[in-house]
Amino acid sequence: MSIFPVINSTLCPKYVAFFIKEKYDLAENVVCKILKIGVNHTYLVECGKNKYVFRVYSYNWRSKKEIKEELQLLNLLKENNISVSYPLIDTSGKFIQMIEAPEGERYGVLFSYAKGTKIRNLTEKNCVKIGELMGKMHEVLNKRSIKRNSYDIEMLTKLPYQYAKEHFLESMDEMKFVKKARDYISLEFGTVDSENVRSGIVHLDMWYDNMNIEDDSAITIFDFDFCGNGWLFLDVAYFSVQLFNTEPDKDKFEVNLHSFYKGYKQYSLISEDEKKIIPVAALAVWIFYLGVQSRRFNTWSNIFLTNNYLKYYVGLIKSWLIYNDIDIMNKKK
């Protein structure tokens, strides 16, 4: 009997450990375990007192060229003393491993370990340090470009709506909202004066889940899988809305957001034009990630992507809009 084809497989941690020990010529015993099965698969690798993270990109998710661009970006940031989890080379001088998985060719990269832990409920001090780190990063990435996605209105909202239509009825109130949001964002982005906003390379997934904090202040950013080209305020916007969603005390949220800006402004200036569009930019990135969840339904999100989840997901962003006095449903096109 022939092997039945698969669309997604999980590599055995035991054999990932063998693979890494051989490729990177690690002297001590290597232990490996699954950290996270998500958009990509992530493994914790331990070798004596040393720790690493091995990411296995999902099949047909990122091309080798796209991954190479991501790794070049990480090395650029490392060279500029930006605290990121960076790629490590194997004994043959390669950063990217090719893995023959059951579904086809996948790629793997070994990264440095980000010390510390994820902190969901951030403190003022945390937010100042995150602002400083993002500000430093944006100063390096301002006016640069990368051979990856460009986060324009098409990528952020139009395509995500098409992806979501494959799983949800357009007659749902939540889908009507997403469609209205798409049109509203297009109008608002059309008013942005490109001369007064900064463009460059963005992370696009800056929130507490993609950074580890050690001793309450040393922060390391990781997971640049969605890096691409766009307005730099997109990173600020997404961090802001995630901070809003994870902090139930809105007075504390305001204090933390102010602390973030205080740190950010020490290294990178943000214009008033950028500040004004940030609530709308947060809506745009929120819609974008609904598209990611919809695209990856078969290989990741099917365990949660339901009608009830869509109600919850849209409910979160509606709360953000209400807080910022934005009513998109009554906005004329």
Exposure letters 26-45 (e unless 16+ CB within 10 A, then b)? beeebebeeeeeebbbbbbb
Same domain, 64 and 210: no
Same domain, 77 and 178: no
Number of domains in the chain: 2
At 22, which CATH number? 3.30.200.20
DSSP string, 263-327: HHTTT----HHHHHHHHHHHHHHHHHHHHHHHHTTTTTGGGT-SHHHHHHHHHHHHHHHHHTT--
Same domain, 146 and 236: yes
Does residue 3 lie within any of the structural domains?
no
pLDDT digits (tens, 9 = 90+) for 295-332: 999 999 999 999 999 999 999 999 999 999 999 977 65
Same domain, 299 and 164: yes
In Å, the largest CA–CA distance within the chain is 66
CA 319 to CA 315: how far, in whole Å? 6
pTM of the model: 0.96
Mean pLDDT of 231-259: 98
CA 270 to CA 197: how far, in whole Å? 8
Same domain, 265 and 136: yes
Mean pLDDT of 33-51: 96
DSSP string, 269-286: ---HHHHHHHHHHHHHHH
Same domain, 106 and 136: no
What residue numbers bound the domain in which 79 lies? Answer: 13-112
- Check residue 28 and give its pLDDT: 79
297 burial level (CB within 10 Å; 0-12, 13-18, 19+): middle
At 157, which CATH number? 3.90.1200.10
Angle at 237 between CA 234 and CA 242, to 5 degrees: 125
Same domain, 128 and 227: yes
Does residue 140 lie within any of the structural domains?
yes
Give the residue among 105, 110, 4 at the shortest CA–CA distance from 60: 105
Single residue among 80, 112, 144 that ends a domain in this structure: 112
pLDDT digits (tens, 9 = 90+) for 185-223: 999 999 998 888 999 999 999 999 999 999 887 999 999
pLDDT digits (tens, 9 = 90+) for 157-176: 999 999 999 999 999 999 99
Does residue 182 lie within any of the structural domains?
yes
- Check residue 1 and give its pLDDT: 56
Same domain, 50 and 147: no
Q: Strand 228-231 and strand 199-202: pairing?
A: antiparallel
